[in-house]
Amino acid sequence: MDIWDSWWVLQFMQMLGLLSFWISLPKLRTLFSKAFGFGNKFMKGSSSNVWIFVSISLLLFLSWVYSFVFPSDLSVIQHYDEIIPNTSQSLNHSVEVPNVSHSMNQSFDFEMLKSKVVPMGKCNVFEGSWIHDNSYPLYDASQCPFAERGFNCIANGRRDRGYTKWRWKPKNCDVPRFNARRILEQLRGKRVVFVGDSLSRTQWESLICLLMTGVEDKKSMYEIKGNRITKQIRFLGVRFSTFDLRIDFYRSVFLVRPGSVPKHSPQRIKTTLRLDKIDDISHEWIDSDVLIFNSGHWWTRTKLFDMGWYFQVGNSVKLGMTINSAYNTALHTWASWVENSVNMNRTRVFFRTFESSHWSGKNHNACKVSRNPWKRSNGKERSPISDMINRVVKNMSVPVTVLHVTPMSSYRSDGHVGTWSDNPSVPDCSHWCLPGVPDMWNEILFSYLLPKPL
């Protein structure tokens, strides 16, 4: 070890500095002499010895105080290591950290110690807040033929555009800005598949409109079967021919298979939901590079029991089964299918949690769209459906990423379609305007998919 790195040498140098300071202030010596109660009689004859003793004692005391208040550079470096462990690995994606072994000879940026430097991989991107950003929106829905008319709120008469100007900001990191051209290059030759309900279709439309901003020849994009974007079609696919890229959507609101009514069933049963069987179009999902699922908005009494839909496992109809229990069973069926059917060496799998709706009133049938995001989540940051998704995925034997959008969506009471849809007589506080909240879901999605900067 270098002699100048020795702790004792540093303390000795500090003491010498203090000694020089002490000798240069005779008036201060007199003041301390009186403070310690040394009278003239006592000082006579042995004043030099007493003074040396008092000086050394006081010098050691001040040296200790100095080392406590102003620690050596070595202790600062040790504290820095405690703040940011394993600097060679954990910070290689965020900042360049000065070489600790040469920090005594280089200028050190102590401002870094005051800020939290958290790599993207260690940051919870779903914990944060919405901040106003005038650089948004990232596209014009009226210029995107793949955006459903029912979600284009501005074209349907919404005058305030503030809802398009919000960006999600995680507490300890940033979501990378959506770079359409870069993402198109990364997706060259790939196939991205969305599976789920109409909220999945909204995210699918959002992604296509975002990517379209990076395409020079707009005519090189087309729906594979020439279909118009509507709610009823079970399959929609857009091809980016320049990049040999496909973005597909499959409508599967329950993820499991509808079945026929077993014999001798009660008359109120019109159809069953086979909770132990994955949807019969699942074989079309497999050949993909990115696979994004969602399901939740159809798991309600009005869309199931009131319509004569009941649950079936094997050959048995489960008349007493609750919706939450049925959803949990269906999730396990989906999880088993992923574990046994999807090539995880090729396909990256995501499951997006329940997106908060903002219905109000006693019967949750009133829809009042606010002008700005809520300042509080008002209890909508949690959902039993989202909790079940997190639990099931956590126990899977293969890696699946949960896009836990429930908390971040809970604030966005301003982002819903409301009465600005293609059917204004039916208010809508479930679906989202485009551009809007689903764009941020896609920005977060690609923060997981894109290579991290070195």
pLDDT in tens, the chain (454 residues): 444 444 444 455 555 555 554 454 454 455 444 444 444 444 444 444 544 444 555 555 555 444 444 443 333 323 323 323 333 333 233 333 233 333 333 322 322 222 233 345 578 999 999 999 999 999 999 999 999 999 999 999 999 999 999 999 999 899 999 999 999 999 999 999 999 999 999 999 999 999 999 999 999 999 999 988 888 789 999 999 999 999 999 999 999 999 999 888 999 999 999 999 999 999 999 999 999 999 999 999 999 999 999 999 999 999 999 999 999 999 999 999 999 999 999 999 999 999 877 878 777 778 999 999 988 777 777 789 999 999 999 999 999 999 999 999 999 999 999 999 988 889 999 999 999 999 999 999 999 998 765 4
Q: What are phi and psi of 138, to 5 degrees?
A: -90, -5
In the numeric block, which tokens belong to residue 86?
């394993």
CA dihedral 208, 211, 214, 215 (to 10 degrees): -40
User: Does the domain spanning 129-447 belong to CATH 3.40.50.1110?
Assistant: yes
Sequence ranges of the domains in the chain: 129-447
